[in-house]
Amino acid sequence: MTDHSNQARLGVGLVGHSFMGAVHSQAWRTAPHFFDLSLAPSMTALAGRDADRAEQAANKLGWSSSTDDWKSLLGRDDIDVIDVCTPGDTHAEITIAALEAGKHVLCEKPLANTVDEAKAMVAAADKAAGSGVRSMVGFNYRRAPALALARKLVADGRLGAIRHVRASYLQDFIVDPEFPMMWRLQAERAGSGALGDIGAHIIDLAQYLTDDLLAGVSALTETFIKERPLPEGASSGLAKGTSSMETGEVTVDDAALFFGRFGGGAIGSFEATRFATGRKNAMRIELNGSDGSLAFDFESMNELWFYDNRIDDAEGGFRRILATEPGHPYVDVWWPPGHGLGYEHTFSHEVYDFVEAVARDRDPSPSFADGLQVQQVLEAVQSSAADESRWTEIPKRGVGAV
């Protein structure tokens, strides 16, 4: 934002204003003051389902206008980007309409609730790309500096041949059986439970960090608490047919376990759960290679642990790299070493990369095709789990994708 006169404006319209909407807002507001962006984002309009709540949200989150009609954003000339932060069941409709209207799209993960929706979205993105319209799916964790550093170390060959991926995403926010029904616990709205919500992140990360794709999986899912109390006045936010009951049926997984093989020969274990009592946001991933290993836990998000197997055994050990050095990805614009970043910074980095991709006419990453591939893994997991953990292959990337 050093010189406004040379910097074209990029109007942004946000759809959805709860958790994801709030953190995206902070990212849109913050990124320009730290990164040298080639375009100047303008927080132009926010859309929600309810006009009053959308107006309140726009005021609170810092958007210039609000509406209860997201479609109205598509006709505005002052909006160049649609940022989709709604539940998964509306991703396909909103993103496809936005892309057809020539708007760049940043869409939260998981890309969709089904593979079919995701395929339609990829088709729309591919078509729009022909006109220079960009699309990106929001796997924000890729942009935690420690994980971006991990990717760099792997790409530089520091791990050698990767043999193991061990990934888990552990939360505990619904351990209490009195925790009420919400849209995230309904298949109709959320697609799946822990699997799509948090499992999608570790699938994406495992594939991103290894630069390899899962070829097949075997899976098991479980729902520990099958009925939950409905919240007061629950009808509006929940899928239809649930409002007249005192409890509602949980129709998604509480936990998903699976293992798989990667195309390049590595094996991997995965666990996503909302029942790991005491684990708040423990997104953990460990890679073991012939020349080294890496380990990460989001509960200590500024640390990357690296074991360099080329060092003599007598001096070897997992090394706690504080990913806060100027030489680490994204870090130079922030604070001095040891002055850690937080969760929201992953989104500021995402905005930076997205804006630069738009400005420089290149495809941002992860693409909708990446999002579709993750969706195919999710579907394979659900399919395997529904059929006695049968081994289930993942369609090869690009093979019959659309």
Ranges within 39-78 binding a second copy (CB under 8 A): 56, 59-62
In sequence order, the 6+-apart residues with CB closer than 8 A to the CB of 135 are: 95, 99, 104, 105, 106, 107, 125, 128, 129, 364, 367, 368
Gap between the Cα atoms of 70 and 73, Å rounded = 6
Residues 75-104 that bind a second copy (CB under 8 A): none
Per-residue DSSP letter, 72: H
Smaller CB separation from a second copy, 314 or 399: 314
Alpha helices in 130-242 (DSSP H): 145-155, 187-190, 194, 200-210
Q: Which part of the chain contacts a second copy (CB under 8 A), choosing from 45-53, 88-96, 188-196, 294-302?
A: 294-302
Nearer to a second copy among residue 199 and residue 364 (C-beta):
199
Quick one: which of 275, 281, 325, 328 has its CA closest to 301?
Answer: 281
Q: Does 9 bind a second copy (CB under 8 A)?
A: no
Q: Is 343 in the site for a second copy (CB under 8 A)?
A: yes
Shortest Cβ 206–a second copy spacing (Å): 14
Binding residues for a second copy restricted to 21-40, rule: CB under 8 A: 23, 25-26, 29-30, 33
Torsions phi, psi for 369 (to 5 deg):
-65, -35
Rounded least distance, CB 346 to a second copy, Å: 10
Nearer to a second copy, 23 or 45 (CB): 23
Contact between 74 and 103 (Cβ < 8 Å): yes
Q: Does 114 bind a second copy (CB under 8 A)?
A: no
Looking at 65, 72, 90, 300, which residue binds a second copy (CB under 8 A)?
A: 300
Secondary structure E strands in 16-173 = 39-47, 65-67, 81-84, 104-108, 135-138, 162-170
* 322 binds a second copy, rule: CB under 8 A: yes
**What DSSP state is assigned to residue 144?**
S
Residue 327 interacts with a second copy (CB under 8 A): yes or no: yes
Binding residues for a second copy restricted to 160-189, rule: CB under 8 A: 163-164, 166, 168, 171-173, 175
Element containing residue 96 per DSSP (H, E): helix 91-100
To a second copy, the closest distance from the beta carbon of 135 in angstroms equals 26
Nearer to a second copy, 313 or 361 (CB): 313
Question: CB under 8 A: which stretch of 70-78, 104-112, 316-324, 363-371 binds a second copy?
Answer: 316-324
Query: Smallest gap, in angstroms, from Cβ of residue 244 to a second copy?
Result: 29
Between 235 and 277, CB nearer to a second copy? 277
Give the nearest distance from C-beta 177 to a second copy in angstroms. Answer: 8
- The C-alpha atoms of residue 324 and residue 345 are separated, in whole angstroms, by 12
Q: Can you tell me which of 28, 70, 258, 368 binds a second copy, judged by CB under 8 A?
A: 258
In this structure, which amino acid lies at residue 157?
A: G
Nearest alpha-carbon partner for 287 in 118, 101, 154: 154
Residue 272 is a binding residue for a second copy (CB under 8 A): no
For a second copy, the closer of residues 102 and 265 by Cβ is 265
Which residue in 190, 201, 202, 203 sits closest to 253, CA to CA? 190
Q: Which one of 102, 157, 264, 316 is in contact with a second copy (CB under 8 A)?
A: 316
The packing angle between helices 145-155 and 345-359, to 10°, is: 60
Q: Binding of a second copy at residue 215 (CB under 8 A)? A: no
- The footprint of a second copy on residues 185-214 (CB under 8 A) is none
DSSP-derived letter for residue 401 is: -
Nearer to a second copy, 339 or 362 (CB): 339
Distance of alpha carbon 150 from alpha carbon 160, whole angstroms: 13
